[in-house]
Chains A and B, each alone.
Chain A
Amino acid sequence: AQKITQTQPGMFVQEKEAVTLDCTYDTSDQSYGLFWYKQPSSGEMIFLIYQGSYDEQNATEGRYSLNFQKARKSANLVISASQLGDSAMYFCAMREGLIQGAQKLVFGQGTRLTINP
């Protein structure tokens, strides 16, 4: 069963607009972590934001915020004031459990975001 689902294969947004990238997850664990990574064409994985399952407030990092709705099991990424450099592939990922050292991630299918000038 798919644990991380990103339903938007591609998104096209005008520069300076806000954009929301969807992510839903499935887990029976009470303790887990949710991540968003950006992957430009170079291939590197750039960390954007992290939300722990026990964090009561939504995570924010500059122009990035994570809309965490635990009951709905969703962790959408919101990018405010989009820039041309935001064009890339975006992956939502989940780490299950709090076992120290077991930091493997399960990734969603990704969303390709294109910012138009």
Chain B
Amino acid sequence: GAVVSQHPSWVICKSGTSVKIECRSLDFQATTMFWYRQFPKQSLMLMATSNEGSKATYEQGVEKDKFLINHASLTLSTLTVTSAHPEDSSFYICSANPWEGQVPTGELFFGEGSRLTVL
């Protein structure tokens, strides 16, 4: 089946630095990918929709200058947390849509997630 891969799976960084997380669709092309954030013991909250070849669409309350999204190819989207602070520590997980061009009838695929800890 379709696979979505995220890297790194965990990262620790100092406050004020930037961190990049990659999301790749391994065996299908995705013009659209989604980035979610999950705080401990909470649900997944959609941050933004990554669109290949155009600007990302951010959900209300998500700072686009803080969370930079680049969807440079049909198999890769990156999320960069700029000037990270401890409150940005969270689990970030991406999703890609294998149903592009079709009526969706099933599973949507998630990456393994990236756990960010900002010291």
- Which of A's residues lie within 8 Å of B, judged by CB? 33, 35, 37, 42-45, 47, 50, 52, 91, 95, 98, 100-110
Contact = CB atoms under 8 A, between A and B. Distances in A.
B32 A101 contact: yes
Interface in B82-99: 91, 93, 95, 97, 99
B24 interface: no
A101 B106 contact: no
B31 interface: yes
Given A43-B112, A43-B113, A44-B113, A100 B104 contact: yes
A100 B100 contact: yes
B108 interface: yes
Given A95-B108, A100-B104, 9 more contacts: A43-B115, A91-B44, A101-B31, A101-B97, A103-B32, A103-B95, A104-B46, A109-B43, A110-B42
Nearest to A33: B104
Contacts of A103: 32, 34, 95, 97, 99, 104, 108
Q: Give the 4 A-B residue pairs with the shortest CB-CB distance, closest first.
A: A45-B110, A103-B97, A43-B113, A47-B107
Contacts of A45: 44, 93, 95, 110, 113
B114 to A, nearest CB: 9
9 contacts: A37-B110, A43-B93, A95-B108, A100-B101, A101-B32, A101-B100, A103-B97, A103-B99, A105-B46
Most B CB contacts (10 A, CB to CB) among A35, A37, A107 go to A107
Contacts of A47: 107-109
A46 B101 CA distance: 24
A3 B109 CA distance: 21
